[in-house]
Amino acid sequence: MKLSEKRIVFIDMDDTLIKTTSGKTFPIGIYDMTLRLDVFAKIKAIAPNAVFIVSNQGGIEAGFVNITLFQQKFMYVIASLQEYVGIHTFVAGKFCPTQDAKFEGRKPNTAMLTSMLDEFEQILDHKFTKEDCVYIGDTLVDTEELTAKNFGCDFVPVETLLTMKIDAPMYRVVYKKGYSDFDGKIVTKAEATQVVREHTNDKGETELDIVPSKFIAPKPEEPKKESKPEVKQEKKSKVIKLPFAKKLNN
Ligand SMILES: [Mg+2]
């Protein structure tokens, strides 16, 4: 398994992305947390298309954790990771507030993983394989490895992740408008930067961009049909339909 080839990272939160500052097993408040920036750096090195944080928070149902306060903490961790890894990786998260082991949305069940991946695939209009995915979690409980097994993807313990060498991410040069490939080659960041510099026009406008090689370009628009149907559309467009307006009687 090559981590650098992974496009989707599922990751646990407690003891994986964050740890308690107090050293206690369970945080004594939402302030009792330290971001594990060494783990953040490894995720950035993988340069995936998306990171999905999946966290069991049974303490909410049990009454130890205030859900409203926890939501703020969760959003902060998501936002921190998003800013750290950069805009070419999409970061999102889900947490499970219940302790019901039968609930599909509680790990080691996989509904949190599949629902986020499904939504992401719909947005991109692109299907990922299980081989594209990796699950990163701690080994303090066996829940994490079991979640990966149930989902059907590789599992990497977070402590192992920190020792793994990840190949430097490769880049491609694309036209900014439409993000079509410049020449299809996948190159190092230094090489890609060189190409972009060479193609900056006289006005100083950069027409090309550098994106990670795993970037999925939008599908090209279908060519427009001949002008006859367009004339018909112009006549129809006099009736303005609001997005949530009631259906008009024709
Ligand atoms: Mg954990």
At 51, is the pLDDT very low, low, confident or very high (cuts 50, 70, 90)? Answer: very high
Q: Looking at residues 123-137, what average pLDDT do you find? A: 97
Confidence of residue 19 (pLDDT cuts 50, 70, 90): very high
Bridge partners (DSSP) of residue 210 are: 173
Q: Give the contacts of 156 (CB within 8 A, at least 6 positions apart).
A: 3, 134, 135, 136, 164
- Give the separation between CA 19 and CA 46, rounded to whole angstroms: 22
Check whether 173 has a pLDDT greater than 60. yes
Q: ω into residue 223 within 30 of 0, thus cis? A: no
Give residue 119 CA to ligand 1 midpoint distance, Å.
Answer: 24
pLDDT higher than threshold 60 for residue 121:
yes
Identify which has the larger pLDDT, 12 or 222.
12
95 alpha carbon to ligand 1 midpoint, in Å?
12
How far is the centre of ligand 1, averaged over its atoms, from the C-alpha of 76 (Å)? 17
Residue 205, pLDDT score: 75
- Measure 60 CA to ligand 1 centroid, in angstroms: 15
Distances (CA, A) of 62 to 39, 48, 58, 67, 242: 29, 35, 6, 11, 45
- 167 CB neighbour count, 10 Å cutoff: 11
Residue 16 CA to ligand 1 centre (angstroms): 6
Percent of the chain topping pLDDT 90: 73
Q: What pLDDT does residue 25 have?
A: 93
The answer, yes or no, to whether residue 49 has pLDDT greater than 80, is: yes
Q: What is the pLDDT of residue 227?
A: 57
